[in-house]
Structure 1
Amino acid sequence: MPLAHLDRLFDYLVPEDLSERARPGTRVRVRFAGQLVDGWLMERAELSAHDGRLSYLERLVSPEQVLTPEVARLARAVADRYAGNLADVLRLAVPPRHARVERETPDPGPAPVTAVEDPDAAAVDGGPVPGAAAGVDGRPVSGAGSGPVAGPADGVSRGPVAGADGGAVGGTVGGSDPDGSGWRGYPAGPGFLRALADGRAPRAVWNALPGEEWADRFAEAAAATVDSGRGVVAVVADARDLGRLDAALTRRLGAGRHVALSAALGPARRYRAFLAACRGRVPVVIGTRAAMFAPVPNLGLVAIWDDGDDLHAEPRAPYPHAREVLLTRAQLGNAAALVAGHARTVEGQLLVETGWAREIVADRSTLRSRTPRVTPTGDDPQLARDPAAASARLPSLAWEAARAALKADTPVLVQVPRRGYLPSVACAECRAPARCPHCAGPLGLRSAAATPACRWCARVAAGYACPQCGGRRLRAAVVGARRTAEELGRAFPGVPVRTSGREEVLDVVPGGAGLVISTPGAEPVAEGGFGAVLLLDSWALLTRADLRAGEEALRRWLAAAALARPGPAGGRVVVVADGGLVPVQALLRWDPVWFAGRELAERRELGFPPAARMASLTGTAAAVAELLEAARLPDGADVLGPVPAGDGQERMLVRVPRSRAAALAAALHTAAGVRTARKANQPVRVQVDPHDLF
């Protein structure tokens, strides 16, 4: 049930004619509150703890066992961690059924039922059983709960992974080398690969070198894991990274040895890939965050690339983060884990400092030979040579670096934080931000000849007059990627200028020198690397009202700078920022580990995540107060706030030590159950460890 006070299992009788096909993990229909609703058959048992009358299953939707014991156990753990409901997690874990896809690729036969831990609930193998527990999705009604999901101590079999032909996947795949040459640039890399090939469960936080073919390294780790007879789940942030990883795995494992899961595939293609994984036809599943719950038999490795990207945070209840889901899978299933990226998140640093994982980093000599030369424009020597560098959007140092790269016939990458033309404008007289007279939203320009329009309500403000001084002329407050391309096109006449952003993403820079203007995350790859990378408008990243502002700025800068040529080959990176800022210092030294360690130490001192656990409660003032009154918060809990959250709502934060995180989640879930049982009409959004804290 999606309601907190009914977040438990309910017992139903299994009709004789369904007994052979109604197995754990299948979809069923049951009568609940007088209506037919969807449910999951979670367990088969001889007896029920409910003393009252039990209803029968109405029908079996499909005999396909799409909810594996391992994923069911994981879903319950994720729901408990994030103070959510099992029904909400299962919606994220299993895609909607596509009947035509099931018919076109029939299951060769039911998998054997695994024995359960509960001594009072005996699992069966085909015989008639009088009772079953089904989690349902419908209106609330009174009924008997059978308790938490019972499952095997190890939710996956330890046999070989099934292949596409129904046989076992074993032996060498794609000629995988336990001492993979790509990992030799890192002292701990070959040992990590050998541990995977030996069937062990190493846990690592990997900082990739600039210019690293990270997808090939993932493919080598996946091949070593498959060689040991185990499966792999790898998660990336977006479709571009997914395409790179898909190509690398095809080269390494061969065609048909992996599937890609993404919400962008469409219902049929996504369900077809999901069934291939669920039936054990492929040993490797990759994808965006939709793949974090992928049912892979005998899971041996979970991996995530660029775990600091906000796309890994699920926007639907209970708002889990892909990194935390994968680490929970590794913990529950004794699988290896790989958290990777050019930058290091504070959460990754915590894994290393607590000893849960080991770090894989290059030594300083290798790093110096691979990194580009990084220069800031706001330090004292640069200001002495160019006093205008403090206020110029493109200081002379950046202009000279771009000109030198173009002269050497190498492309130049320019990273701009904002997309569009002029996303924000201000009064040219008094510099007051230009606001929409109807909704007070920011005014912007779509092109040089466009009329100012509101970015919130889209109303055109043709006759805009500044309410402060009456001025009618506007100036740029924030410059977007398209305006930057226009300005640089005039500064470098005759040089091709291309843009890469949400509207049009370049994967690879075409041949020949030129300028590429990109927003963060949309940077293309250039053959041989970019001759120069310019990081503009650094203030837009560093001045955000966000706990992760510095961490996010460094992550985006490193991702762009990693595309430059090495320093010995002439690669340069110019960051338009003061060299004394901590994130800029980390970029200059290419030391994300130092930055993450410093950030973690500061957050420990201030009591911020991940050093502590925080829950965010958002709703009307009365609803939030009601939930807090019903919650029996653990000892030592700090309640912070309230702060306005817009639309007449407010936000409260509850902070506890990490050791009491489970107690906090349980208390909030119980309090939410009290409110749903009372049929409270004002919802409260509960988020544990939200990605955006402020």
Structure 2
Amino acid sequence: MTGEGRRIARVLLDSPLPQLDRLFDYALPEELGPVVPGVRVKVPLRTAGRVVDGYVIEIDAESDADRPLSEVDSIVSSVPVLTDALYRLARRTADRAAGSASDILRLAIPKRQVRVEKAWTADAETPVPSPEALAKAGDVIDRYSGLRDVLDGAGRAAVEAVPVLEHGHPGWTALVAAATAHTLAAGRSSIVVVPDHRDLDQAMTALEAFVPTDAIVRHDARQSNPDRYRAFLRTLEDAPCVVIGNRSAVYAPARAGLVIVWDDGDPLLSEPLAPYVHARDAALLRQEQEGSALLIAGHTRTTDAERLVQLGWLQDVRAARRILPRVQLSTPQELEQGAARMPSSAFRSARDAAAEGPVLVQVARPGFAPSLVCADCRRPARCPQCAGPLGARTRGAVPVCGWCGRAARTWTCPECSSTKLRLASSGSERTADELGRAFPGIRVIVADGTHPITRVDDKPSLVVATRGAEPLADGGYRAVILLDGARMLQAPDLRIGESCLRWWSNATALAAPGAPVHLVGIQGPAAMALATWNHAGYARAELQSRAPVHMPPTVRVAQVEGTSASVRAAVEAVRALGLPAEAVLGPVPLADDDGRVRALIRFEYGAGTAVATTLRAQVIADAVQRRRGKGRPTRASLALRLDILEPEI
């Protein structure tokens, strides 16, 4: 506190309203006693006539005691849960995404649990990895050229993980555990961000072999509120730790010496709530703010990471001794035949490998037959109620709509009036049914969202799994068959090639050493990248093809939705910044929406601050105008999202 006079607190309100995304001055009455920045408070909001939650950001004093100020109503807790570093990260991240800092903090700071807070002592001892663990960590780190220098010199790197299994665990988990053990030995904390609970469980198992258990802080959406708050309080302590969790773990307030983002191409790392910040972008901002080391690691290389490598912002780190899987592509003869879903070469590999152990068969979709067509004219079968796709849950079952769930017992083709249906696709269950007849006497295991399986034994079996749901196999899979590649590549998504390569590569990494991997039914750049394990080259080629047409990530893209007038005003405000005419796409009407339109605005990274600030100002002005109008609208007339990757692009 500086100066003498009336004590004031500058408070950030916990409110979704964009016009309240700033600091408000409140007087601190003497009866509240000492107040420190970062504590939760309740303050009155005069315009709403109610008390709202907030965080004290600054404590100051002013000599002008005549300035009318509302007083802080109460101190919710004396624990300063919002550190200065976390607030600055939230503010900077929100500004880059044209959002509110309170929306970021809502992801970072759990709800208060009084009993947990009262039992908290903040006296954790400084954990130290054992000499044996450090020696093992050093061996893993030295497998990657330049990785030790990145860790010791607080550098930034894109790391291509070796696609191997180590002692029954994915090799990438050893990389993550070794890097965090090395950082912990230097007395610094680590933040590890992974896409989902499967990755989290696998990484936790590896961490326990490298660092003391009491140093691991799990940040998991599946945790109970008390457990999550207990873990959060541990990250406020001075003792270093290893924080590992899903996308919001990137905001953990521990003073990090290392931040790791695993598999940054996974869409689960993109926050679905406003302001929609990707964990990779938050990690980049955090590294720049704190000066920690940063690893963007994966089996594949996203175009986002490769762009930063090309700019020199990330160092390219690969294994000193590369291990390439045995990937076999379909031959031209097999592609010409086209009818067989599993060609003879893949069938023979699966048959021979299944006699020795588990074989992985990756498919595109779950269920039995996710889509049906007319048996006569091949027109896709649609629900007569909502026009959703019809599918079959079992052979001969009544067709069911995939959107509304209604049964179509009396379906008739609107094109040819036929009442007969034909199975047009094979899901995991239908594939398992077909393989069970083709491989008599072999266990067939289905692994998908409905049948979650994390591990299978080393006995002969066929494991039919959807992408991302592949279980680990003891000793690795004796063969991997990647089906439905052509169907996967047909998705209307700008990044579908990247996504397919990531799905295939992650499945390939589960194979036993020397096991064959068959990519069935396709060739082309993505297939060749898998066969040669040249993911960086594929990402570079993708960047080169997108640059002439100004598609992300060569540029940033903002999506503006709202009424025609509000979107037009936002577009004109951005044009005033000097963006070229071709920077704006639209506005175009939104389907089945009441007069609302959408516009896309493409801009260079250097113009990001100006564009984000301008668009945010338009959102605030729109919100204030609606507030002053009569009535209460049911939805905002202007919605904003930056760095989108929607299929509509």
Separation in 1, partners of 2:71, 2:547: 54
Maintained 8 Å contact 2:113/2:225: yes
Aligned to 2:344: 396
For residues 551-582 of structure 1, the C-alpha deviation after alignment (integer angstroms, 9 at most, x for no partner) is 11101110111111233xxx111112332x11
Maintained 8 Å contact 2:137/2:182: no
Separation in 1, partners of 2:42, 2:137: 51
SS at match of 1:217: helix
Aligned to 1:317: 274
Aligned to 1:74: 89
Maintained 8 Å contact 1:342/1:559: yes
Separation in 1, partners of 2:154, 2:135: 18
1:63 aligns with one of 75, 78, 91? 78
Aligned to 2:531: 588
Alignment of 1:298-337 (within 5 A): 299-337=256-294
Deviation at 1:230, TM superposition (A): 1.2
SS at match of 2:585: strand
In the alignment, does 2:194 pair up with 1:236?
Answer: yes
Separation in 2, partners of 1:88, 1:535: 40
Aligned to 1:208: 161
Cα gap change, 1:593 to 1:472, in 2 (>3 Å): same
Aligned to 2:57: 42
1:206 counterpart letter in structure 2: V
Separation in 1, partners of 2:21, 2:302: 33
Aligned to 2:639: 685
SS at match of 1:338: strand
2:211 counterpart letter in structure 1: L
For residues 288-336 of structure 1, the C-alpha deviation after alignment (integer angstroms, 9 at most, x for no partner) is 0121111103x11100110000000000000000011011100011111
Alignment of 1:156-171 (within 5 A): 164-165=124-125, 168-169=126-127
Cα gap change, 1:373 to 1:175, in 2 (>3 Å): closer
Alignment of 1:459-608 (within 5 A): 459-567=406-514, 571-579=515-523, 581-608=524-551
Q: Give the unaligned 5+ runs of structure 2.
A: 1-14, 166-170, 628-632
Cα gap change, 1:72 to 1:50, in 2 (>3 Å): farther
Separation in 1, partners of 2:66, 2:40: 25
In the alignment, does 2:194 pair up with 1:250?
Answer: no
- Scaled by the length of structure 2, what TM-score is found? 0.91
2:37 aligns with one of 24, 29, 52? 24
Separation in 1, partners of 2:16, 2:500: 37
Separation in 2, partners of 1:89, 1:419: 34
Maintained 8 Å contact 2:571/2:584: no
Bigger mean CA offset, 536-545 vs 309-318 = 536-545
Alignment of 1:355-504 (within 5 A): 355-362=312-319, 366-367=321-322, 370-377=323-330, 379-383=331-335, 387-388=336-337, 390-407=338-355, 409-504=356-451
1:4 aligns with one of 18, 32, 54? 18
Deviation at 1:45, TM superposition (A): 1.0
Maintained 8 Å contact 2:129/2:212: no
In the alignment, does 2:219 pair up with 1:261?
Answer: yes
Cα gap change, 1:555 to 1:27, in 2 (>3 Å): same
SS at match of 1:264: coil
Deviation at 1:685, TM superposition (A): 2.8
**CA RMSD across the alignment:** 2.1
SS at match of 2:601: strand
Q: Give the unaligned 5+ runs of structure 1.
A: 109-162
Deviation at 1:450, TM superposition (A): 2.4
Bigger mean CA offset, 585-594 vs 49-58 = 49-58
Deviation at 1:610, TM superposition (A): 1.6
1:19 counterpart letter in structure 2: G
Separation in 2, partners of 1:47, 1:445: 71
Cα gap change, 1:171 to 1:454, in 2 (>3 Å): closer
In the alignment, does 2:593 pair up with 1:636?
Answer: no
Maintained 8 Å contact 1:631/1:671: no
1:302 counterpart letter in structure 2: V
Deviation at 1:14, TM superposition (A): 1.1
Separation in 1, partners of 2:289, 2:271: 21
Separation in 2, partners of 1:335, 1:51: 46
Maintained 8 Å contact 2:184/2:240: no
For residues 100-146 of structure 1, the C-alpha deviation after alignment (integer angstroms, 9 at most, x for no partner) is 221232x45xxxxxxxxxxxxxxxxxxxxxxxxxxxxxxxxxxxxxx
Separation in 2, partners of 1:693, 1:15: 54
2:642 counterpart letter in structure 1: V
Separation in 2, partners of 1:14, 1:67: 19
For residues 647-685 of structure 1, the C-alpha deviation after alignment (integer angstroms, 9 at most, x for no partner) is 315431101111101111111100001100101734233
1:98 aligns with one of 108, 113, 121? 113
Deviation at 1:53, TM superposition (A): 0.5
Maintained 8 Å contact 2:235/2:241: yes
Separation in 2, partners of 1:625, 1:669: 15
For residues 198-228 of structure 1, the C-alpha deviation after alignment (integer angstroms, 9 at most, x for no partner) is xx30211111121152112111111111111
Cα gap change, 1:677 to 1:576, in 2 (>3 Å): same
- Scaled by the length of structure 1, what TM-score is found? 0.85
Cα gap change, 1:633 to 1:285, in 2 (>3 Å): farther
For residues 392-440 of structure 1, the C-alpha deviation after alignment (integer angstroms, 9 at most, x for no partner) is 2222222112112113x12110111111111111111111111111111
1:482 counterpart letter in structure 2: E
Aligned length: 616
Separation in 1, partners of 2:565, 2:405: 33
Deviation at 1:505, TM superposition (A): 2.2
Separation in 2, partners of 1:660, 1:173: 49
SS at match of 1:253: coil
Deviation at 1:473, TM superposition (A): 1.3
2:95 counterpart letter in structure 1: D
Separation in 1, partners of 2:361, 2:134: 38
Aligned to 1:115: none
1:52 aligns with one of 46, 67, 70? 67
Separation in 2, partners of 1:286, 1:375: 36
Alignment of 1:653-692 (within 5 A): 653-679=600-626, 681=633, 682-683=635-636, 684-692=638-646
2:587 counterpart letter in structure 1: P
